[in-house]
């Protein structure tokens, strides 16, 4: 029996879809059977980020309304045998599916997969309720901005009311080191003070995330980037390993230290 | 009871009049005599400064309608003002209401954005109030944690003596009774500031909510009534 993890944030544009794609990918890299479920009906993106858009034949709404079998709608990833995607419909909206239908679909998937990653749409309305209905665990994504922390707080409050979901865990996304250092960005400690939930990972803002999602290849596949390492760490923590948080300070090279000594920086 | 003994006794005091009502006679007789007595005292009809009136009912129960009736009779004289109607008797319903007002409701939780926590009585919250969260109580509010949202004390009956105390005081808005105050600092600054153990109360002289360290407030000696009681 697998675990269903919903990735949510309240606010839009903080990186739910990117996080879902990458967390799914790293779990698949570890050899787990993973199914990504896009619940953002009408504004589907996860298929694009995964580079699987042109393989979609049926979608979530087709399954819910009985136009196809669940297996027919699953899109196999081109890189991993063990990674599948259940895409959202693009032509209808969020009201075309009910939370209990969603729960039934997730429960069926749990029999076949180790992990089901549910990508939640922004907002707290029907789309959110659909996404949370079948989830056992929740990951809340936030960025170090007041508005996004505020929305994360609201979402955590709503998740705490969902009895079947275990206490949510937090990913702080899009951390910019130079803003953090100059004190212009909310510090991680401050965010943790307000939200008061377990931290499961921090991800540094990386230009590579944008280019790789344009290419349809999750950045986690490219181990040289810091964001990829962050996602891999998150994956290991989901699997129950204890991994220390990434050191945010960039290691300064010999040349930098000489420069600093000479007072050039 | 001899009929000659008066049912209403008017006593003059430094701070106004005290009407002592007989507690054993019929209420109707009491009203008749009260009207007669007031009409008889000719100097009450003269213009003068406003005199405050305290009515002492003894061991007689009087309900809200009767209170209004008494007030009406006395307020028909322009410069008389009822300050207080005191009776030694309470109904169970009234007692319950007082108990409700004075009880302490203890909660252990985080009030997150969009959540509302509203209680009758005094609220002791062990946990934080995050920005966007709202807490409200008919009495005082004590937060063992950081108060970053909206807190309203003394709600319902406009209790001006209510106080709000928090371990970390960084609210977006405070309300005591009907008086409101808001934080002028911007949100990012508030998050980093550490205002430890501060108390908000309504300063009746300036009609504004004042936030101060509890020690400073004590030194000034103008501790609000509620805290003085403790």
Q: Which two tokens stand for residue B127?
A: 């946990």
What percent of chain A is predicted at pLDDT more than 70?
A: 94
Q: Do A150 and B131 touch (CB under 8 A)?
A: yes
Q: Do A156 and B191 touch (CB under 8 A)?
A: no
- The minimum CA-CA distance between A168 and chain B, rounded to whole Å, is 14
Separation CA A135–CA A2 (nearest Å): 11
For A157, the closest of B114, B188, B192 (CB atoms) is B114
The full set of domain ranges for chain A reads 3-261
CB A145 within 8 A of CB A180: no
Top CATH class of A3-261 equals alpha beta
Instruction: Tell me which of A153, A155, A179 to substitute to probe the interface with B (most B C-beta atoms closer than 10 Å).
Output: A153
Computed over every residue of chain B, the mean pLDDT equals: 84
Sequence length of chain A is: 265
B62 versus A199: the higher-pLDDT residue is: A199
Q: What ipTM describes this predicted complex? A: 0.80
For B113, the closest of A150, A160, A193 (CB atoms) is A150
Instruction: Give me the domains of chain B, ranges plus CATH numbers.
Output: 8-89 (3.30.750), 97-229 (2.160.20.70)
Q: Do B128 and A194 touch (CB under 8 A)?
A: yes
- Cα dihedral across residues B173, B175, B180, B181: positive or negative: negative
pLDDT of residue B214: 74
Report the range of poorest mean pLDDT among A4-8, A252-256, B51-55.
Answer: A252-256
Residue A49 CA from chain centroid, whole number: 12
What percent of chain B is predicted at pLDDT more than 70?
A: 85
A165 labeled binding residue = no
pLDDT of residue A122: 94
Sequence length of chain B is: 230
Residue B1 has pLDDT above 50, yes or no: no
Residue B192 has pLDDT above 80, yes or no: no
CA angle A227-A232-A237, nearest 5°? 125
The mean per-residue pLDDT over the stretch A156-162 comes to 94
Separation CA A81–CA A83 (nearest Å): 6
Strands B179-182 and B208-213: unpaired
Query: Which neighbouring-strand residues pair with A76?
Result: A84
């Amino acid at each position: 029996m697998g675990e269903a993890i919903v990735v949510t944030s309240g606010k839009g544009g903080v990186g739910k879809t990117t996080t879902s794609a990458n967390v799914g990918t790293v779990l698949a890299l570890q050899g787990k059977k993973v199914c990504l479920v896009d619940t953002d009906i009408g504004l589907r993106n996860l298929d694009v980020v995964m580079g699987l858009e042109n393989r979609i034949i049926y979608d979530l709404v087709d399954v819910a309304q009985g136009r196809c079998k669940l297996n027919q709608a699953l899109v196999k990833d081109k890189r991993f045998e063990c990674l599948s995607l259940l895409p959202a419909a693009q032509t209808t909206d969020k009201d075309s599916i009910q939370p209990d239908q969603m729960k039934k679909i997730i429960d069926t998937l749990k029999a076949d997969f180790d992990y089901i990653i549910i990508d939640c749409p922004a907002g707290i309305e029907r789309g959110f309720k659909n996404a949370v209905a079948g989830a056992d665990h929740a990951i809340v994504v936030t960025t170090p901005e007041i508005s996004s922390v505020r929305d994360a707080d609201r979402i955590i409050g709503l998740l705490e009311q969902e009895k079947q979901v275990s206490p949510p865990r937090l990913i702080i996304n899009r951390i910019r080191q130079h803003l953090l250092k100059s004190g212009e960005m909310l510090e991680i400690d401050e965010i943790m003070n307000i939200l008061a939930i377990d931290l499961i990972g921090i991800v540094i803002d990386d230009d590579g995330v944008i280019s790789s999602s344009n290419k349809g290849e999750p950045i986690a596949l490219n181990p040289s980037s810091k964001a990829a390492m962050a996602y891999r760490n998150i994956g290991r923590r989901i699997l129950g390993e204890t991994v220390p948080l990434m050191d945010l300070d960039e290691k300064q090279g010999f040349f930098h230290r000489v420069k600093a000594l000479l007072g050039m920086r | 009871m001899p009929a000659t003994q008066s049912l209403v006794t008017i006593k003059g005091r430094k701070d106004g009049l005290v009407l002592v009502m007989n507690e054993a006679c019929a209420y109707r007789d009491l009203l008749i005599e009260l009207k007669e007595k007031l009409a008889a005292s000719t100097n009450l009809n003269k213009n003068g400064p406003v005199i405050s009136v305290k009515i002492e009912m003894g061991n007689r129960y009087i309900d809200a309608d009767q209170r209004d009736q008494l007030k009406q009779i006395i307020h028909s004289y322009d410069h008389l003002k009822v300050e207080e109607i005191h009776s030694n008797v309470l109904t169970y319903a009234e007692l319950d209401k007082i108990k409700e007002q004075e009880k302490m409701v203890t909660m252990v939780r985080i009030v997150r954005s969009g959540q509302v926590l509203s209680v009758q009585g005094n609220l002791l919250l062990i946990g934080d109030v995050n920005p966007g969260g709202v807490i409200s109580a008919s009495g005082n509010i004590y937060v063992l944690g950081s108060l970053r949202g909206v807190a309203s004390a003394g709600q319902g009956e406009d209790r001006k003596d209510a106080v709000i105390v928090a371990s970390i005081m960084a609210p977006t808005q405070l309300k005591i009774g009907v008086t409101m105050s808001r934080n002028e600092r911007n949100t990012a600054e508030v998050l980093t500031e550490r205002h430890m153990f501060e108390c908000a109360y309504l300063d009746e002289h300036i009609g504004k909510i004042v936030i101060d360290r509890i020690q400073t407030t004590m030194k000034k000696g103008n501790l609000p009534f509620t805290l003085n009681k403790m």
